[in-house]
Amino acid sequence: MTAIDLLANGAAEGLRIKSKYKPLYTKETYLKTWDEAVRGE
């Protein structure tokens, strides 16, 4: 799939994919995990 496929027809396919995506981390948990990794904890 290419960018043009995701953007065609008013970005219908891109919006469909985005609506079904569930991130593994919230912004807060991601930043906390990254901070711990950088500090070496």
pLDDT of residue 9: 97
pLDDT of residue 27: 96
3 has a pLDDT exceeding 90: yes
Parent domain of 17: 3-39
Contact status, residue 7 vs residue 15, Cβ threshold 8 Å: no
pLDDT of residue 8: 97
Whether pTM exceeds 0.85? no
41 has a pLDDT exceeding 80: no
- Kindly report, residue by residue over 11-34, the tens digit of the pLDDT: 999 999 999 999 999 999 999 999
Torsion sign across C-alpha atoms 9, 14, 18, 21: positive
pLDDT of residue 40: 85
